[in-house]
């Protein structure tokens, strides 16, 4: 992918991490926030629509509460987020107002996107805000999130938002120059990956761990975010947020950082929603024949091809399909609950009536309700 793809992108999602908006953990760095606002304002003047996914609420809350170390207890993290979110949004609003731009605070949880109606409502709201020339500032709703519904990192959140609004590109800004062939902090021979295909398994093997206590997402989360964003056709750039005018320079066509190309055609909206489920109700392990039927022949999943059923789920919930080696290959809306699925697994569809006493559907997951990963 050439940098011109970013230059020509009309709708962008920009994600900035804690290290780029805080002063080494001592609250927000207001000078940096002002620079982000200035650059995004420049993008808006170029005719681009920009959504900002910003970390920093918990770090700001820690500073206000006088905490020197990030807590591990969920309730303390939630409290810090609630305190810090006030300062984060107030600071951004002031910075963007200096450029004549309105901002909007949008807090999301996975539950908002797992429910189809709420997913569509969130998409409609964000698109309306963009139509109004307003800059949405998005963060995970840490105040109410739990271990079951949290996104886990703002890299993933940025990718989900890119999918949600069908953005042309996702720009993930970090304190690293981009993706390297190895961890440059440990391996002096590591070289920068300037261009690669999003979803290339080799990228995941290159990725290292989290960079600091304040930052939750390491390079692996960014690689997985690029893979997710590519499902809706969005390219991803991973670049250093410490580069001068990095957003403006990218918009002008300059090649900075690592550019991960979305090669495959965008998924249809409903299938994209299925693929976006981070947590699922259950797991179906398939035999080789079923895997081939799904991945190569585009067929539905029949009970006979299911080796094992794990989890607790009801009819109509999203489940993951996995091969015998443990690789996730698909997600879909299941036609039978977990108990029924266990009973009919490894049996042909013609035996469902005899086993359950009724037949809802001959397929465990119909191909129209299934998306390959």
Q: Which of 271, 304, 325 is the last residue of a domain?
A: 271
pLDDT of 184 reads 78
pLDDT of 136 reads 98
User: Are 190 and 292 part of one and the same domain?
Assistant: no
User: Are 210 and 285 part of one and the same domain?
Assistant: no
pLDDT of 43 reads 96
What is the C-alpha separation between 59 and 80, in angstroms, rounded? Answer: 8
Q: What tens-digit pLDDT sequence spans the chain (373 residues)?
A: 455 568 889 999 999 988 899 887 678 999 999 999 999 999 999 999 999 999 888 889 999 999 988 888 888 988 998 999 999 999 999 999 999 999 999 999 877 888 888 888 999 999 999 999 999 999 887 777 665 556 767 899 999 999 999 999 999 999 889 988 887 778 888 899 999 999 888 888 777 544 433 344 478 889 989 998 998 889 999 999 999 999 999 999 999 999 998 987 788 777 888 888 777 889 999 999 999 999 999 999 999 999 999 999 988 888 999 999 999 999 998 999 999 999 999 999 999 999 999 998 899 999 888 988 8
User: Are 260 and 322 part of one and the same domain?
Assistant: no
DSSP labels, 155-186: HHHHHHHHHHHT-SEEEEEESSSS-BSS-TTT
pLDDT of 113 reads 82
Task: Catalogue the long-range contacts made by 157-161 (C-beta closer than 8 Å, 24 or more residues apart).
Answer: 157/15, 157/53, 157/108, 158/13, 158/15, 158/53, 158/225, 158/229, 159/224, 159/225, 159/226, 159/228, 159/229, 159/234, 159/236, 160/108, 160/113, 160/228, 160/276, 161/13, 161/51, 161/53, 161/108, 161/126
Helix intervals (H) in 132-239: 154-165, 201-206, 219-229
- The enclosing domain of 49 has a CATH number of 3.40.1160.10
User: Are 222 and 309 part of one and the same domain?
Assistant: no
User: Are 168 and 265 part of one and the same domain?
Assistant: yes
Q: Which of 271, 293, 314 is the last residue of a domain?
A: 271
Q: What's the domain count of the chain? A: 2
User: Are 309 and 254 part of one and the same domain?
Assistant: no
User: Are 266 and 190 part of one and the same domain?
Assistant: yes
User: Are 306 and 244 part of one and the same domain?
Assistant: no
Q: Which of 217, 241, 271 is the last residue of a domain?
A: 271
- The enclosing domain of 297 has a CATH number of 2.30.130.10
User: Are 64 and 113 part of one and the same domain?
Assistant: yes
pLDDT of 295 reads 93
User: Are 107 and 223 part of one and the same domain?
Assistant: yes
User: Are 246 and 307 part of one and the same domain?
Assistant: no
The residue segments making up the domain with residue 309 are 280-372
Under 8 Å between Cβ of 371 and 275: yes
User: Are 196 and 262 part of one and the same domain?
Assistant: yes
Nearest by Cα to 276 from 217, 333, 331? 331
């Amino acid at each position: 992918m050439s940098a011109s793809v970013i230059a020509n992108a009309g709708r962008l999602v920009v994600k900035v991490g804690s290290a780029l908006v805080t002063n080494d953990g001592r609250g927000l760095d207001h000078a940096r926030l002002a620079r982000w606002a200035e650059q995004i304002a420049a993008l808006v003047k170029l005719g681009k629509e920009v959504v900002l996914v910003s970390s920093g609420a918990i770090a700001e809350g820690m500073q206000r509460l006088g905490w020197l170390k990030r807590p591990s207890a969920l309730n303390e993290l939630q409290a810090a987020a609630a305190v810090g979110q006030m300062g984060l949004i107030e600071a951004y609003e002031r910075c963007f107002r200096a450029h004549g731009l309105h901002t909007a605070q949008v807090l999301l949880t996975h539950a908002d996107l797992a429910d189809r109606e709420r997913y569509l409502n969130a998409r409609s709201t964000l698109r309306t805000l963009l139509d109004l020339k307003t800059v949405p500032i998005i963060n995970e709703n840490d105040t109410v999130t739990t271990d079951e519904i949290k996104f886990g990192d703002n890299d993933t959140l940025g990718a989900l938002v890119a999918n949600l609004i069908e953005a042309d590109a996702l720009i993930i800004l970090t304190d690293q120059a981009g993706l390297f062939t190895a961890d440059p902090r440990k391996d002096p021979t590591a070289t920068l990956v300037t261009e690669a295909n999003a979803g290339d398994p080799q990228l995941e093997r290159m990725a290292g761990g989290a960079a600091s206590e304040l930052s939750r997402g390491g390079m692996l989360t960014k690689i997985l975010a690029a893979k997710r964003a590519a499902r809706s056709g969005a390219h991803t750039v991973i670049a250093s947020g410490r580069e001068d005018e990095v957003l403006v320079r990218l918009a002008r066509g300059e090649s900075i950082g690592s550019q991960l190309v979305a090669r495959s055609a965008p998924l249809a909206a409903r299938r994209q929603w299925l693929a976006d489920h981070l947590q699922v109700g259950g797991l179906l392990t398939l035999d080789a024949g079923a895997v081939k039927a799904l991945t190569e022949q585009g067929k539905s999943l029949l009970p006979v091809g299911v080796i094992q059923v794990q989890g607790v789920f009801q009819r109509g919930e999203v489940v993951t399909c996995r091969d015998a080696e443990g690789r996730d290959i698909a997600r879909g809306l299941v036609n039978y609950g977990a108990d029924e699925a266990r009973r009919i697994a490894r049996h042909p569809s013609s035996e469902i009536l005899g086993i359950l006493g009724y037949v809802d559907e001959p397929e465990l997951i119909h191909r129209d309700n299934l998306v390959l990963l």
